[in-house]
Structure 1
């Protein structure tokens, strides 16, 4: 039997899932608490027993994205020994996440239209900082292994990586074909890797001398 706390946590998770599902097919600004209540099977008033406001629901959505996306990215990176292979795995894992959860980028892009700072923007910044930290660590490993072109700016490389994913996301949302990201992603990552990788002869020589 669930305790009151467990019941609240389960209901909150259901509302977050409903918010993401609705945001995937309509503007997040048009997602109402009435629609959320209907999707979960509760009254509109009951929504506010689990979240104090609609903004709190979107904050919970970003918290979910932070935890789920970062867990996937770290797992993808950890499964690869070579740092450039780890970067590719992270890129593909991010694409897979967006294909499965298209509501997440819709919520983020919707919020970025507001010029003022907001708690939701602060949560997104925290997510992006954690993402950049992961990427920078992998890029530093690649640099130490002499797999990057001489003079590669690691901060700029991280920006290019994230921007490449965001470009794919934006294009897929505009076309309405989010699943197409999976077929385009490998070629986009190849271009990113070509921009930062050491010349093939140098990279091959480094790999041959690595125990």
Structure 2
């Protein structure tokens, strides 16, 4: 253990612990990740780890906060850079897939928290992330509808559910195959079909069918 490793500022050490959990979750069941495994990956004792996170629940909350902050910031930046709402949706979709490819432990952590039978701060944070993400998605879809890009009768909630379902399906395929490059390629192909479906709905309505 180097002197630098022992004397990192508390905020940096907390960030290091969060990253250790996410990396461990990429290849292990999050429920089976122990504080001793986290500390070992950080080259710390458990006592040193608990100086930064008093409980395991506090670590899990820190992980969910990290995921929420970074994922929402990414999609806001990517979607906000596009003036066309469909382009914003595409940027949001592909950006989310890239985030998962870069951090494969994240969906495992999210699923573990949302499936937790108990009510914990980490579970509440995971649920808030899903709600905030959905609100952003529905706003973009509503903007596309208001601009006439999508039909006025479009079911925003259904379109948002399908969008999220596509990402969940890609995540499942990635868990099966363990191939992030394939997931990115599949995401491009899936997006083309989703976008074509939305545009076809416009044409169908305009054609009176």
What is the rounded CA distance, in whole Å, between the counterparts of 1:138 and 1:53 in structure 2? Answer: 39
What is the rounded CA distance, in whole Å, between the counterparts of 1:136 and 1:109 in structure 2? Answer: 22
- CA offsets per residue over residues 77-96 of structure 1, 9 Å max, x none? 01111100110000000000
Could you tell me whether the CA contact under 8 Å between 1:14 and 1:40 is conserved in 2? yes
- Identify the residue that residue 209 of structure 1 maps to in structure 2: none
- Identify the residue that residue 182 of structure 1 maps to in structure 2: 184
Q: Deviation at 1:106?
A: 0.7
Q: Deviation at 1:200?
A: 9.1
What is the rounded CA distance, in whole Å, between the counterparts of 1:119 and 1:173 in structure 2? Answer: 26
Q: Deviation at 1:173?
A: 0.9
Q: Deviation at 1:23?
A: 0.6
Report the secondary structure of 1:199's partner residue. Answer: helix
Could you tell me whether the CA contact under 8 Å between 1:169 and 1:178 is conserved in 2? no
Gaps of 5+ in 2: 1-7
- Identify the residue that residue 206 of structure 1 maps to in structure 2: none
- CA offsets per residue over residues 29-83 of structure 1, 9 Å max, x none? 2211111111112111111100011121111111001000011101110111110
Question: Scaled by the length of structure 1, what TM-score is found?
Answer: 0.87
Question: Scaled by the length of structure 2, what TM-score is found?
Answer: 0.88
For these two proteins, the number of residue pairs brought into alignment is 198
Q: Deviation at 1:150?
A: 4.3
- CA offsets per residue over residues 92-137 of structure 1, 9 Å max, x none? 0000000001111011122333333332221111101111111111
